[in-house]
């Protein structure tokens, strides 16, 4: 929840005022609050998705991932294209004339993005007058946060492939080696950069992937590294020391890299350690806050359109803090019914025909969790 809300807070300046994201100026444009939170997301995702894969069969895993992602996404796309975008059109133009038949209209938006590719972000040329639209000199994105969804889907599919081939259970050292290779490539980016305050360097595109299209190679590397760290953390949970002194060192390294440079290589592993440490060290009652009511996905998929509508309707006129509050409330107003009416009912289908085979729930060799990870979310 904190990471999801951090992304909304990070987007407040660019979406509401056309300014760099929160934290950009303090880090010499190396990173910002949104990027750090994104890294935390993919670390946690790698850990939890691997946990799911170790406790079930491949088909149950694939079905569970489908139910967690697509029903909520499909309703979000429908709400955005058929409810929020028409409201924006009426507010901007006073009419829906030309809205439905536009070359990048709502129906094209739905068919293009239905399987998570997010290859179309504007709808019918709207939102060009918002700060984010003026910065881009054209129609603005309705749900820009969903650019990361295709990477999630590719990584989920990768875990499925590792399940089918047996690598996930029988050869965890191969994943440890792959994680190390990815990190060496990241270090190479830092060493070859003109200065230590660079962001991830462009590496071209990878693909096309079925239904998703092309993905940016640099984000495949960096987000994939965080996801792999989460996977490795789950596989070797019993060997990872979780101590306050190490967390203090990690926090100091994070702050120093953001201040002086080197974040692209230093930041990902220390952010990963801090997220894992907090999952272990925070009081157990904190873990109960979202149990049974997980609004995180809803905040992720609805936060950006909520912020765009808030600024369109003048919600930024009172300043940054009120705009952030309005944005968070707007995101929650959509995320809460998304969970109770769409996501939770869809998730109940996971339990239909659930296997009772204990072999699918046992620990993998050399990778059993211990008490040190008892505080991590499941």
**pLDDT tens, 137-158?**
678 899 999 999 999 999 999 9
For residue 161, count CB atoms less than 10 angstroms from its CB and return exposed for 0-12, middle for 13-18, buried for 19 or more.
exposed
Q: Model confidence over 18-44: pLDDT tens digits? A: 999 999 988 888 999 999 999 999 999
Asked if residue 245 has pLDDT above 50, the reply is: yes
Confidence grade of residue 172 (pLDDT, cut at 50, 70, 90): very high
Q: What is the pLDDT of residue 176?
A: 95
DSSP string, 94-158: SS-TTTTT-TT-HHHHHHHHTTS-------TT--TTSHHHHHHTS---S-GGGGGHHHHHHHHHH
Condensed to tens digits (0 to 9), the pLDDT of residues 63-96 reads 999 999 999 999 999 999 999 999 999 999 999 9
Q: What is the DSSP string of 26-84?
A: GGTTS--HHHHHHHHHHHHHHHHHHHHHHTS-HHHHHHHHHHHHHHHHHHHHHHIIIII
For the stretch 330-367, pLDDT in tens is 999 999 999 999 999 999 998 764 544 444 343 443 43
CB 142 within 8 A of CB 123: yes
* Whole-number pLDDT of residue 241: 93
Give the position of tokens 């910002």: 32
What is the rounded average pLDDT for all residues in the chain? 90
**What is the number of other CB atoms lying within 10 angstroms of the CB of residue 147?**
15
Distance CA 275, CA 230 (A): 10
**Alpha carbons 79 and 225: distance in angstroms, whole number:** 33
Is residue 42 a contact partner of residue 105, using CB atoms and an 8 Å limit?
no
Contact (Cβ atoms closer than 8 angstroms) between residue 267 and residue 254: yes
Give the residue-averaged pLDDT of 181-186: 96
Cα(346)–Cα(13) distance, rounded to whole angstroms? 35
- Tokens at residue 36, please? 């750090």
Q: What is the pTM of this model?
A: 0.90
Residue 366 is predicted with a pLDDT of 40
């Amino acid at each position: 929840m904190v990471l999801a809300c951090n992304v909304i807070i990070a987007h407040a300046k660019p979406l509401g005022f056309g300014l760099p994201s929160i934290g950009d100026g303090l880090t010499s444009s190396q990173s910002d609050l949104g990027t750090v939170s994104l890294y935390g997301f993919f670390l946690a995702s790698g850990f939890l998705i691997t946990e799911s894969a170790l406790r079930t069969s491949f088909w149950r895993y694939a079905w569970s991932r489908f139910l967690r992602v697509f029903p909520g996404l499909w309703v979000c796309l429908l709400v955005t294209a058929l409810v929020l975008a028409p409201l924006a059109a009426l507010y901007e133009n006073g009419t829906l004339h030309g809205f439905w038949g536009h070359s990048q209209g709502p129906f094209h938006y739905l068919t293009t993005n239905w399987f998570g590719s997010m290859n179309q972000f504007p709808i019918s040329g709207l939102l060009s007058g918002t700060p984010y639209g003026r910065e881009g000199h054209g129609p603005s994105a309705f749900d820009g946060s969903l650019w990361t969804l295709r990477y999630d889907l590719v990584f989920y599919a990768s875990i499925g492939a590792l399940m089918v081939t047996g690598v996930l259970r029988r050869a965890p050292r191969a994943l440890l080696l792959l994680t190390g290779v990815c990190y060496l490539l990241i270090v190479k980016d830092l060493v070859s950069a003109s200065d230590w305050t660079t962001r991830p360097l462009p590496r071209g595109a990878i693909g096309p992937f079925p239904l998703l299209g092309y993905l940016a190679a640099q984000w495949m590397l960096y987000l994939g590294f965080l996801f792999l760290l989460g996977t490795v953390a789950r596989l070797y949970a019993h060997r990872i020391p979780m101590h306050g002194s190490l967390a203090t060192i990690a926090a100091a390294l994070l702050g120093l890299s953001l201040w002086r440079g080197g974040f692209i290589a230093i930041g990902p592993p220390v952010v990963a350690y801090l997220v894992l440490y907090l999952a272990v060290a925070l009081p157990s009652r904190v873990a109960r806050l979202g149990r049974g009511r997980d609004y995180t996905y809803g905040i992720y998929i609805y936060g950006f359109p909520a912020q765009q509508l808030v600024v369109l309707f003048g919600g930024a006129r009172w300043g940054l803090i009120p705009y952030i509050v309005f944005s968070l409330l707007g995101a929650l107003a959509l995320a809460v019914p998304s969970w109770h009416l769409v996501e939770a009912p869809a998730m109940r289908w996971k339990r239909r025909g659930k296997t009772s085979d204990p072999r699918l729930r046992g620990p993998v060799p050399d990778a059993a969790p211990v008490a040190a990870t008892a505080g991590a979310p499941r």
